[in-house]
Chains A and B, each alone.
Chain A
């Protein structure tokens, strides 16, 4: 089977504006979940968020973009992470624009992140806002296509919280089938009243910073992030020094149980992990670390743990890095893929923060402290979403 490798990464989140900053925060157990500075909402004071510490104006300036042209925050953070990823993979402008380069992105809130402007336009309350042509979920990607003059295949997926994990899998399939020679895949989601109120209406937001896999967890914390990885066929990469990890496999399926909850027997999560292992030709015992979906909701963490208990004789190290950045929705899959690659490269496990009393129902517990010196060959990274979407990715060390 064609070997797919990661040759570049870019990320912006509440724990760092670059890849290097994200890594630093993970190593030092620095959480980005706190009171919001930039995001304005009724809940700005009462809830905590994984907010990117950079204003829209500062992002516009840094990226050299003109104000008033419909660049939403989703788009701005996407461009920033995209730019870092292609630079990291040392892609030339010609490489990026090539018909042989695909761009697969994802977002859930997409262009609808400025809730008040959308309300104004949808209810025709005066002259159109600058965003009137930029509300689509795909707008951020189309802006990047335009800015970089991309001529290849583009796509945007939205499978809720598993979106960018699916973008990565789709990218790998384009490479395996020879449709393109390189893929930039990932996603972007910024904080928005729309999603904050949506999750709040489902009563699954935690007032305190989320504590995934804690017995007394009260729900998730929302965050914002964008991340992209560059994927290539290993055989095509002449400069092997840029190879960061191998993308070994994925599993995608549907839980087919409930629009917004996971089945009690975790059939979907389990099947996704099994499919990923099968595709990677690995056995459960080959996995040294699981970057769990671990949202911190009562439902997810217990069903995901149940799936671990069924799949693994001995559950390996596992943690939820959502305890650092919150749930970044569409961006969660790619961000956690990047964090998983950090774990492989640096032989270390970043813990589930703030766990006081590990989940009671199972004998195993998440990794509770920064743990260096762990030889990690293969990482399983889970992403599950509303609509029953379940995706597991496997990244492996380069040997």
Chain B
């Protein structure tokens, strides 16, 4: 699957490429909110007025990509929670008005497939449409879906819009805070990995890719990916090695490692197991930039493509390489669901 185009809205200034060019936002907040561009010229007011943040950010990323490329054959999204704020706003109405007369907009906007539906509507695309809600592997599931699509149309040029979105609202922040996923104390993102405490900070955003089975003028390739759930810490090394074996690669073939380390002392050791396999390689700890959220691997993939094209190199730690050619992403959520994504230029 070849990446022809991409765009992201994230807690860093990816919307105008300042982040890629070296402008890094120091964040000293519990919530890493996305830096959103103005949508005025992009989304008609009649639609914008109803959109929750997830749908708004998602459309804000989709429309620029769609504007620059031919109409894709399908639209595939991954999101763990979709428009959760609308969802809980509707829930609050249910409780506060005792199941009385309620406004439907929150309900309609809260369904995770609202984004794929809106993009199809605004871009008049009747093609393949799918929304994966596979928790912290939702983006990986969208990639799997896309790869099946290209397999099925082998020999026939096809294009897909594939991406992920996640929003943070006060409500899901509360839920995950009660679930002990966030730090109680404040440490700036630059020191995220040395905080020495449990939990992380919450981020949000949308990253999307225009994918094709035609390699011409592509920026990079999603070469392979693999998922697993409930691995033990001593199985993780083997998980990575067997993945590389399947790709006829070994640890020396990887030029740069992108790790989902998030500063949570109870689960960062999984990352350290993998880090040891690639001790001398440059590494990027992408959650220092955007925080933790369930489809953050889409942002990691976005960043990987930038790195493969000689951008954002300043983020590499443990030595830098001018222009990596092969990049591996390892991410997990709660140390329960694990994902590997391999990208190549």
Contact = CB atoms under 8 A, between A and B. Distances in A.
Q: Is there any pair of Cβ atoms, one from A and one from B, under 8 angstroms apart in the complex?
A: yes
Interface string A142-177: 100110011101111111100000100010011011
B99, B129, B145, B171 interface centre (most CB from chain A within 10 Å)? B129
A177 B144 contact: no
A256 B126 contact: yes
A387 B117 contact: yes
A122 B172 contact: yes
A158 B111 contact: yes
Contacts of A194: 87, 90-91, 94
Interface in A100-140: 107-108, 110, 112, 115-116, 118-119, 121-124, 128, 132-133, 135-139
B80 interface: yes
Contacts of B93: 197
Interface in B105-129: 107-109, 111-114, 116-118, 120-121, 124-129
A137, A139, A153 interface centre (most CB from chain B within 10 Å)? A137
A151 B235 CA distance: 13
Given A157-B132, A201-B103, A173 B148 contact: yes
A154 B94 CA distance: 33
Contacts of A156: 132-135, 138, 141
B99 A43 contact: yes
Name the prevailing secondary structure of the A interface residues.
mixed
Number of chain A interface residues as a range: 35 or more
B91 A157 contact: no
Contacts of A133: 179
A388 B133 contact: no
A107 to B, nearest CB: 8
Interface in A184-203: 193-194, 196-198, 200-202
B104 interface: yes
Contacts of A159: 113, 116, 129-131
A198 B95 contact: no
A289 to B, nearest CB: 26
A267 B128 CA distance: 14
B290 to A, nearest CB: 20
A312 interface: no
Interface in B68-112: 75, 80-82, 87-88, 90-95, 98-104, 107-109, 111-112
A367 B329 CA distance: 55
B157 to A, nearest CB: 18
Contacts of B174: 121-124
A41 interface: yes
A179 interface: yes
Nearest to A151: B228
A392 interface: no
Contacts of B132: 155-158
A253 B116 CA distance: 11
A122 B126 contact: no
Contacts of A362: none
Contacts of B98: 42
Nearest to B178: A128
A276 to B, nearest CB: 13
A149 B228 CA distance: 11
A136 B181 CA distance: 15
B238 interface: no
A107 B112 CA distance: 11
Interface stretch (A56-64, A209-217, A257-265, A302-310): A257-265
A271 interface: yes
A39 interface: no
B120 A388 contact: yes
A121 B177 CA distance: 10
Contacts of A41: 99
7 contacts: A124-B178, A174-B148, A196-B99, A201-B101, A201-B103, A256-B125, A386-B111
Interface of A: 41-43, 107-108, 110, 112, 115-116, 118-119, 121-124, 128, 132-133, 135-139, 141-142, 145-146, 149-151, 153-160, 166, 170, 173-174, 176-177, 179, 193-194, 196-198, 200-202, 252-260, 267-268, 271, 385-389
